Amino acid sequence: GAVVSQHPSWVICKSGTSVKIECRSLDFQATTMFWYRQFPKQSLMLMATSNEGSKATYEQGVEKDKFLINHASLTLSTLTVTSAHPEDSSFYICSRRLAGGSYEQYFGPGTRLTVT
């Protein structure tokens, strides 16, 4: 069964508003989770690494003040898209990584964001 859930699965918002996306690890505590963005017909691009109890690490070119990440518990990470614009419309996917061993990542079902 699913080990990572995301909510909502899709959301439509107006330009200038903020949207929060939740990512939950359902079976194991996750000290590290990842947020990806996928544009149509493109591959997944890592946005940031979410670390429980500390600040997220953002990839080059990703605005940390626009994409706020909070990892306040070992099972929940949230991504807030602030002052959303139409160009932020995309498919956002989170993942949880096993600690040590294989470092295998398990992905959530994704959230489709449309900004009008």
Q: Is 11 in the site for other proteins (CB under 8 A)?
A: no
Assess 34 for contact with other proteins (CB under 8 A).
yes
Binding segment for other proteins (CB under 8 A), chosen from 14-22, 62-70, 79-87, 103-111, is 103-111
Q: Number of helices and strands (H, E) in the chain? A: 0, 11
50 binds other proteins (CB under 8 A): no
- In 8-75 the beta strands, taken as DSSP E runs, fall at 10-13, 19-25, 32-38, 44-51, 57-58, 67-73
Binding site for other proteins (CB under 8 A): 6, 32, 34, 42-46, 49, 57, 91, 93, 95, 97, 102-110, 112
